[in-house]
Amino acid sequence: MLVERIFLFGPPGSGKSTLVQEADALGHSAFDIEKFARTKKKRAVVALQHFQQNSNGRILYGSADYSYQRLPRGSFTVLLHPDFFVYFFRLLKRDILHPHKFGQHAFDVYHRHAMDQDKYHYVVRSSSSPNQTVQDIYRAADHFFIKQHPNL
């Protein structure tokens, strides 16, 4: 079976971990790289190990600051980039609920992603429910993977 990887990118507090949890609750294979390593270097190692150990099916990754250039070939990339005011309040809530994530240069990263959004396959800007957002992402991924492998 072919492996189809979906990577969620976005600034801190944009909802990557929430969507990974929602996808898992819906029965999808989902992996939050940030949960398993605190530093960028260790996250790269954890991600590579996960790629090597999981070579079939569709997997959704919460990728935090994983390098876009290191993605496995044929991956579907998603940018979570909510409206600034929605993002600001999500970030405040996230920093209160998860103090270990406080101070991740969130606003700099938010603006950097805004400048680079053309390089992603799909951009999520709305603030619909996590369930609906996961469904929307999987629907967009279906179209992407069908185009990648039309004969399957």
Q: Are 7 and 63 in contact (CB under 8 A)?
A: yes
What is the arrangement of strands in the sheet containing 122-124, beginning at the earlier edge strand? 29-32, 57-62, 3-9, 76-80, 122-124
User: What integer pLDDT is reported at residue 6 of this predicted model?
Assistant: 94
- Give the residue, 16 or 103, on which the prediction is more confident: 16
What is the per-residue pLDDT across 16-38, written as a single tens digit (0 to 9) for each? 989 999 999 999 989 888 887 77
What is the per-residue pLDDT across 1-18, written as a single tens digit (0 to 9) for each? 577 999 999 888 888 989
Per-position b or e across 31-53, b if 16+ CB within 10 A of its CB? bbbbeeeeeeeebbebbeeebee
pTM for the structure as a whole: 0.84
User: What integer pLDDT is reported at residue 26 of this predicted model?
Assistant: 95
For the chain, which domains are there? 3-145 (3.40.50.300)
User: What integer pLDDT is reported at residue 130 of this predicted model?
Assistant: 93
pLDDT interval class at 123 (50, 70, 90): very high
Residue 128, pLDDT above cutoff 80: yes
Which residues make Cβ contacts (< 8 Å) with residue 136, sequence separation at least 6?
124, 128
Residue 103, pLDDT above cutoff 70: no
What is the per-residue pLDDT across 43-80, written as a single tens digit (0 to 9) for each? 778 887 887 787 678 889 888 677 777 788 889 999 99
User: What integer pLDDT is reported at residue 1 of this predicted model?
Assistant: 52
HSE at residue 39, side-chain half, CA atoms within 13 A, is 3
User: What integer pLDDT is reported at residue 137 of this predicted model?
Assistant: 95
- Give the residue, 118 or 67, on which the prediction is more confident: 118
Q: How far apart are CA 2 and CA 56, in angstroms?
A: 5
